[in-house]
Amino acid sequence: MTDGKGLFVTATGTDVGKTYVTALIVKKLREAGHSAGYYKAALSGVEKTAAGFRAGDAGYVADVAGIAEDEAENFVSYVYEKAVSPHLAAKLEGNPVKMAVVMAAYEQALARYDYVTMEGSGGIVCPLRYDNDAQLLLEDVITALGLGALVVADAGLGTINATVLTIDYMKRRGIPVKGIILNRYDAADAMMRDNKKMVEILTRVPVIACVKKGEAAIDIDAATLAVLYG
């Protein structure tokens, strides 16, 4: 086991801004002088060209965070063209996710960086593989790697229900939830302010940051972020 520390980032669903927020987290740590990297087990919905797969989420994080590394080789273990859950993408395209491969790649990331932010696929209930040979859910990977997690949620309408259900599920699975980040937050919106208050009350998990739409930095101290990694 290496000395690096990790933190998992999931979301209340797709298109919530999980990759966007993850990039801001890694950027914040790196700008503060920390050795911070990124890893994602499976990525679907990626365009494939004659030169190979485009960078997708991993390339975006690398660009925003200023990481000069071959993300296609080091940041993501499984890449699929179909914009569906990885378990279905693998059935359609082949190359199913293997836990041993994910664990080895994560350990390699820990060997390169002091702080590794691992991004999930979709929401927390995401089948990475589901066939006759193996059944692997996202939560199985989180548990196997012993990671705590952050939950990214949209600040708008419906977030109370989505956030409470997501965190209740994670707690029932024994996944430590370190905090909530509300994306596309507008402090002038009374509903969003109330959403923030209610998700904290109902989940008993703090909202550690609120990210405005299009924000180039996350409003949380790097030292506070670093403590979340374990």
What are the residue numbers of the active site?
40
Secondary structure (DSSP) of 147-197: --EEEEEESSTTHHHHHHHHHHHHHHTT--EEEEEEES--TT-HHHHHHHH
- H-type helices in 52-98, by residue range? 56-65, 71-74, 86-93
Question: Residue 195: what are its φ and ψ, rounded to 5°?
Answer: -55, -45
Element housing 178 (H / E) = strand 177-183
Question: How many residues does this entry show for the chain?
Answer: 230
